[in-house]
Structures are given as C-alpha cells and as structure tokens.
Amino acid sequence: MVDKDYYSKKLSANLLKRCYDVATPRINQYLEAEVQYVLDHIEPEDVILELGCGYGRFLSRMTEKTSVIYGIDSSKDSIALAKDYLAEHSSIMLYQMNANSLTFEDNFFDVVIVIQNGISAFKIPPHKLIKECLRVTKKGGKILLSSYSDKIWNARLEWFIRQSNEGLLGEIDFDKTKQGVIICKDGFEARTFTEKDFFVLISELNLNATVNEVDDSSIFCTIQK
C-alpha cells in the first residue's frame, strides 16, 4: 500500500536533507540544472511560490534572482528546519500547507514552481494540482513544473539505492522497480510524470504550455496563464 504522506511522516527535515547529502555527482548536476533553468525564467520583480519546498534547498538559490519568495510544505518538521536553514533570508515566507488546497488569494503569484517530479510525488491528482496552481497565479504569470527525463534513469536509481542503504528509504523491491518506477518494501513509491503525461495534461486542460528537456535529466513544462 502506497503511503501518500511518506515525505511528511517518514522523510522530512534532516532526513530529507540527508537524501541530498548522499547524491552522486550526476544527480548534483541534474539538481543544479533545474536551479539554473528556473533562475533563467524568473525576473527580479517576480513574486515566487515553491510548492513542496522541503528544508529550503531550492528557495535559498532563488534569492540569487528575486527577493519576494514563498515556500510551502506539508511537513511541519521540514518547515521548521527551513526556517533555520533560511534564517538569513528574512524575505522568504514559509508555511505548512498542502498543495491541493492553498490558502493564498487568487492571482497572487507571478511564478509558481513545482520541481523534481512534485507533480507525481505530491500524490495529488495532476488536474487538481494544476488548477490550484493556476488559481493563485496572476494573469500573464507562469507555472514551472519539472519531472525526470528517461535519460537519467540509471543515475536516479543509483541515488535511491544510496538513500535506501542509508536507511532513509525502505529496502528497494527490485522485482517491482522498473524504468521510471521505484518501489520500496515499506510502502514508498516514486513514479515519473513523463513527457507524454505532460502533453496529455496540456491537451486535456487546454493549457498554453511548452515542454522542454534540460541537461538530459529534467523534463520542464512551462504553463503560461
């Protein structure tokens, strides 16, 4: 049975941070490429929201480009760590909140960011997530979503094996784990929102959007409101 609250109950705060500490050089390259892509697509005056901000790893980099930044996460412990991790950035506002029911006003943000396969990892129906993102995005604003490219599968699996070996995840079930899907024996499940999935979503919701591959590692979908 899949645990929809895995990241808030079992893999939050310092345990989540440790996942990035054990990342391989190829995964670090992928993570940096995501950061650079987003930095290239925001402006200094933009009001930014990141969904699933964890302990603040990504938000800290956004301060290189803009200053009005919000982050939400469903984990109380991750938000507490983020407040310490980002203490020197007083303009970053952090809230414990679920991405499927944001308490922000309509048309509030210039850019909403959902990176690193959050569209799948959040375990929220994609249509519902996108509609909520659109609600809080200003007219003329955009939503940046990313998932994994098939081309980084081997490096991604190696990273998750490292996390499992560290006790951060359960034992990986190699009988059920396959291209794009990682399943652990403790209920953890990581699927991939594919390039095809993005195009289907764009069509079904009639979105003004583009899909790009970055660094042979990420698939980015940019939705213009």
Beta strand 189-190 pairing with 109-114: unpaired
Instruction: Give the global pTM.
Output: 0.92
Mean pLDDT estimate for the chain? 92
| Per-residue pLDDT reduced to its tens digit, 48-61 | 999 999 999 999 99
pLDDT value of residue 50 = 98
pLDDT digits (tens, 9 = 90+) for 127-143: 999 999 999 999 999 99
Flag whether pLDDT at 6 surpasses 60: no
Region 37-54: mean pLDDT is 96
* Confidence (pLDDT) at 124: 93
At residue 3 the predicted structure's pLDDT band, cuts being 50, 70 and 90, is very low
% residues pLDDT > 70 (the chain): 95
Domain edges within the chain: 25-150+193-224
Query: With contact defined as beta carbons under 8 Å apart, do 142 and 153 qualify?
Result: no
Ramachandran bin of 70, using left for φ above 0, alpha for ψ from -120 to 50, beta for the remaining angles:
beta
DSSP tag of 217: T
Burial group, residue 49, by CB count within 10 angstroms (0-12, 13-18, 19+): buried
CATH of domain 25-150+193-224: 3.40.50.150
pLDDT band at 217 (very low <50, low <70, confident <90, very high): very high
Longest dimension (CA), the chain: 49
- pLDDT score recorded for residue 100: 92
Contacts of residue 33, defined as CB under 8 A and 6 or more positions apart, other chains included, come to 214, 215, 217, 218
Per the model's pLDDT, the better-predicted residue between 136 and 170 turns out to be 136
Amino acid at 26: R
- pLDDT category at 2 given cuts 50, 70, 90 is very low
Token digits of residue 194: 């594919």
Distance CA 40, CA 163 (A): 30
Residues 146-166: tens digit of each pLDDT: 999 999 999 999 999 999 999
Q: Give 77-120 pLDDT, tens digit per residue.
A: 999 999 999 999 988 999 999 999 999 999 999 999 999 999 99
CA separation for the pair 138, 4 (Å, rounded): 30
